[in-house]
C-alpha cells in the first residue's frame, strides 16, 4: 500500500472547517473540557434557580435575576461565540490561498504561495480523526486541519489518518 499522499486543497476553505477546528480546540485539554462543563453546569443551576425562586420561595424578582443570568450565558454560547468564530474566520483570510500538502513516512509538507513548511511526525502530539477532518496538533494551541474532502477518495483520507495516528502513537499533548 502506498504510504505517501499528495493532495491539493484550499486550507480551511469554509467556516464549517474553521468551526470544526474551534470545537476540537475547546475539547482538546482537560482544563478546557472542565471549563465547558462549568459553563453548562452554571446554566443548569441558574435555570433550576428560576424554578426554585418561583415555586418554593415565591420570589419573582429573584427568578427574573436568575433567568437574566441564564439567558446571558446562553447568549454567550449560542450567539456571541458563533459571531466571534465567523469574525475570526473572515479576519484571518484562511480560505484565500490554495495549499498543497504532501505526506509520507517522514512527515508532511504544506506549501502555498505565501509559505512552505515541513513537519516531522515526531512533532505532532495528537491526531484527531473527525468525520470530515483530520486535525494534527503539535501543541495545545495550534492545529493543522486537513479536510477529508481534499483527498481523491474516502479510502485515501482514512489511510492518511491511519498513517498520522501510527506515526504519532505514544505522543502526549
- Could you tell me the sign of the dihedral formed by the alpha carbons of 118, 115, 110, 6, in that order? negative
Domain-ending residue, one of 34, 57, 92: 92
Longest distance between any two alpha carbons in the chain, whole Å: 70
Same domain, 108 and 149: yes
Same domain, 105 and 161: yes
Question: Of 115, 154, 161, which is closest to residue 11 (Cα–Cα)?
Answer: 115
Q: In the predicted model, what is the mean pLDDT of the chain?
A: 87
Same domain, 77 and 118: no
All residues at 6 or more sequence positions from 125 whose CB lies less than 8 Å from its CB, including other chains = 137, 138, 139, 168, 171, 172, 173
Highest mean pLDDT among 60-64, 115-119, 147-151: 60-64
Predicted model pTM: 0.77
pLDDT higher than threshold 60 for residue 10:
no
pLDDT of 68 reads 96
Domain ranges, residue 136: 5-18+94-167
Average pLDDT over residues 4-27: 75
Phi, psi of 130 (to 5 degrees): -90, 165
Task: Provide the number of structural domains found in the chain.
Answer: 2
Cell of 38: 462549568
Amino acid at each position: 500500500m502506498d504510504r505517501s499522499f499528495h493532495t491539493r486543497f484550499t486550507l480551511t476553505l469554509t467556516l464549517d472547517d474553521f468551526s470544526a477546528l474551534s470545537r476540537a480546540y475547546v475539547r482538546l485539554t482537560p482544563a478546557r473540557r472542565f471549563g465547558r462543563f462549568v459553563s453548562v453546569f452554571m446554566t443548569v443551576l441558574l435555570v433550576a434557580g428560576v424554578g426554585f425562586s418561583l415555586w418554593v420561595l415565591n420570589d419573582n424578582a429573584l427568578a427574573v435575576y436568575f433567568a437574566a443570568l441564564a439567558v446571558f450565558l446562553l447568549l454567550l454560547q449560542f450567539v456571541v461565540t458563533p459571531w466571534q468564530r465567523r469574525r475570526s474566520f473572515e479576519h484571518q483570510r484562511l480560505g484565500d490561498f490554495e495549499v498543497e500538502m504532501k505526506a509520507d513516512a517522514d512527515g508532511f509538507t504544506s506549501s502555498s504561495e505565501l509559505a512552505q513548511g515541513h513537519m516531522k511526525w515526531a512533532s505532532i502530539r495528537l491526531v484527531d480523526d473527525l468525520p470530515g477532518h483530520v486535525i494534527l496538533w503539535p501543541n495545545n494551541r495550534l492545529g493543522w486541519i486537513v479536510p477529508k474532502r481534499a483527498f481523491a477518495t474516502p479510502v485515501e483520507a482514512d489511510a492518511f489518518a491511519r498513517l498520522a495516528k501510527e506515526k504519532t502513537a505514544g505522543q502526549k499533548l
